[in-house]
Amino acid sequence: METFSHRVNSYIDSWMGPRDLRVTGWFLLDDYIPTFIFTVMYLLIVWMGPKYMKNRQAYSCRALLVPYNLCLTLLSLYMFYELVMSVYQGGYNFFCQNTHSGGDADNRMMNVLWWYYFSKLIEFMDTFFFILRKNNHQITFLHVYHHATMLNIWWFVMNWVPCGHSYFGATFNSFIHVLMYSYYGLSAVPALRPYLWWKKYITQGQLVQFVLTMFQTSCAVVWPCGFPMGWLYFQISYMVTLILLFSNFYIQTYKKRSGSRKSDYPNGSVNGHTNGVMSSEKIKHRKARAD
């Protein structure tokens, strides 16, 4: 008897077309159901977690936050390096790159992009730390939207376009995450906080990332090379939503509060995140993190 999981995957295949057989058998990629279940569990925890913590004391999570941010910094640095080297090795074209034209570099690209997909599952912990520390004001629509959609989008990317023109956004985002998670990791050491100067540039970097990704994706529409057009149009549409949401966050956070610099705490929020050492019992009103 055909299982529910098999029916779901058969429907996806009939709608999306043939998968890229090079990733067949890779962990979590053959079956969409686990990725979907992880997303549903994430959304349920986002909904029920604050209710559970409402009458409980907040956890500081200090012992977990330092290694968590350090590990994500190192993972992001590894992915950025591997992505750049894959692009260099395969001679990838900025304007358009097909998924079967990079030779061995395509295999290297697929391997690191799998880690990029998997990192989006790890990053669910950002939200869980908010809940445990009762920083519920950080759990914004932008934060949840970005986390929940990225894991699912990249499951589809890995199954249908796991290399080629898919590289650019992941490369830029990995670089931004090196800056972001290193900031939160270092800010856990009080003596270092006065020297952490790059916080205000992270959201700006993300906005630049989205604009450049949309431009680079549009180039493949204007000068096609065989990369599936449907993916390009979807990527452009998704970038538009992120540009609008992050721009609104940036305006609300920085522009409207530019006259209140004293409220900008050393480990305040950046692009919707605040998983550093400052807890809700120390600061009641802080800026939200966006992603």
Give the catalytic positions in this structure: 146
Crossing angle of helices 104-122/167-186, nearest 10°? 40
For residue 17, give Cα distances in angstroms to 11, 150, 155, 250.
Answer: 10, 21, 15, 39
- CA pair distance 291, 272, nearest whole angstrom: 5
Residue with tokens 């609300």: 252
